Structure 1
Amino acid sequence: MKIGILQTGHAPDVVLDELGDYDAMFARLIDGHGFDFQTWNVVDDDFPGAVDAADGWLVTGSKHGAYENHPWIPPLEEFIRAVYADGRPMVGVCFGHQIIAQALGGTVVKFPGGWSVGRTDYKIGGESLPLNAWHQDQVVALPDGAQVVGQSDFCENAALLYDNRIWTIQPHPEFPARVIEQLITHRGRGVVPDAQLEAAQQRLPETTANQAIADHMAAFFKRET
């Protein structure tokens, strides 16, 4: 099965050099499930020719906001709507979670309550799952037909399901602790409150449920959910 990765941003250089770009992180995350991958850098205006260029689609995270005025965002939203209409599976993570909601009629804002950073407990599918977060933006109004299937104390709409055709999640199952550590050092200072960064730093050694989410994503692509 071929998974098309729609890359909506690039990892910071300090992460890129050590762990590769976001598409490489996702390929490692769901490795072992029989997938082939092809990346389109939509952030650089590189788009697939049609929705049938892959059997399933994955929309990555990004430093950009879904509500920002970038020339690649409207065609990405159009492509998302086309995939939804076609019915082949799509997964979105962080920015991907947000842009899919926006493309289908939801609302994304810079959340006035601040940031979620580092290891955070989420309730997903009846389980309590710790996952790494790095976001301020949130989906605050749902599109028609979207079902909330995951949330945290900070993020009410942390995972969404659309008619079993699209599944999206706000935190980053593709991020190991090392990515959060680098983001704290190189992107967080002066942006995220120091106390919050320190708390995230202290939780870096604790385990996350990345593999559980990876297995769910793989099953979703294969229509096993």
Structure 2
Amino acid sequence: MTGQNGGSQDRFLIVKTGSLDDVCVDITKRFGDSEHIFSHAAGIGLCDTSVVEVFKGECLPDGVCGFAGAFVTGSEAMVSHRSVWVERTADWLRTALGKGLPLFGVCFGHQLLAYALGAQVEPNPAGLEIGTIDVSFVGHEDDALFGTLPDKAKFHAIHHETVAALPDGVRPLASSALDNCQAIRLGPYAWGVQFHPEYTAEMMRAIWSASGPEIESGKSIDELLDDTPHGPALMRRFVALARSRCTSD
């Protein structure tokens, strides 16, 4: 576990499920790895986080005390492969959800949170979703995290798998043209998003150039990417909600 900073209740746990090194080492040289990108987008210092690289076999904390909340990152791995570390992390997340730890899962992290509660995760029959996408929100007006968003907002996305079926008690809040499960609420302080609120257009451009599909004739990457100001705002909103919960407790 890296990045520890005493026992402050303001600390956030970053459950790191993969490294951008697996996409392209040059990307991490330019932007940092997932923990740097998440902490920057969320407006928290990396020194105020604890990073656990579960994909490398690192163990998560025995409990959730001392953390304001946790982020679960994206990954090149697939939830449907059910690796040992995936199952172990799902077990921990299920316990953390039960204890009321504020959680925010992104892409793979979103799928893993849903899987921890019994959701079905599988390859998306619509294929790879990549680029800046329109995400449509429905019934989100009373949601603590998504309630300030418009009915439609742009976010970056890149994923092969999808949450195909949700368990009872998990509320879907958003969809896109290629994925019916773009955002979910798993509890009073737990959410998942299939899109990447932490990425900028510049990051997406680098990731697409390194690992994305060929661009259709007559188009460029720049035409398929746009600014997504709602992304960082969403992550900072989660941080504020998690910290306010700690204060109220």
Fold-level similarity (TM above 0.5): yes
Give the superposition deviation at 1:197. 11
Output one character per residue of 1:71-116: Cα deviation in whole Å (capped at 9) or x when no partner: 2111101101110111111110000000111111001111111121
Partner of 2:5 in structure 1?
Answer: none
Whether 2:153 is the aligned partner of 1:132: answer no
The aligned amino acid for 2:130 is: V
Corresponding residue to 2:58 among 30, 46, 49: 46
- The Cα RMSD (Å) is 2.3
The aligned amino acid for 1:72 is: W
TM-score, scaled to structure 2: 0.81
How far apart in 2 are the matches of 1:66 and 1:156? 18
Report the 3-state secondary structure (helix = DSSP H, G, I; strand = E; otherwise coil) of the residue aligned with 2:178. coil
The aligned amino acid for 1:17 is: K
How far apart in 1 are the matches of 2:153 and 2:241? 18
The aligned amino acid for 1:203 is: L
Partner of 1:20 in structure 2?
Answer: 32
Work out which of the two has the higher radius of gyration on C-alpha atoms and give 1 or 2. 2
Structure 2 unaligned segments of length 5 or more: list them.
1-9, 142-149
Corresponding residue to 1:56 among 58, 69, 80: 69
Counting aligned pairs with the same residue, the percent is 25
> Is the CA contact 2:119–2:163 (under 8 Å) kept in the aligned structure 1?
yes
Whether 2:192 is the aligned partner of 1:168: answer yes
Partner of 1:178 in structure 2?
Answer: 202
Corresponding residue to 2:120 among 107, 128, 141: 107
> Is the CA contact 1:117–1:200 (under 8 Å) kept in the aligned structure 2?
no
Give the superposition deviation at 1:38. 1.1
The aligned amino acid for 1:39 is: V
Give the superposition deviation at 1:179. 1.8
- Quickly say closer, same or farther: Cα 1:85–1:193, change in 2 above 3 A: same
> Is the CA contact 2:174–2:181 (under 8 Å) kept in the aligned structure 1?
yes
How far apart in 2 are the matches of 1:31 and 1:41? 21
> Is the CA contact 2:132–2:154 (under 8 Å) kept in the aligned structure 1?
yes
> Is the CA contact 1:88–1:165 (under 8 Å) kept in the aligned structure 2?
yes
Tell me how many residue pairs correspond in the alignment. Answer: 220
How far apart in 2 are the matches of 1:180 and 1:211? 14
Structure 1 unaligned segments of length 5 or more: list them.
none
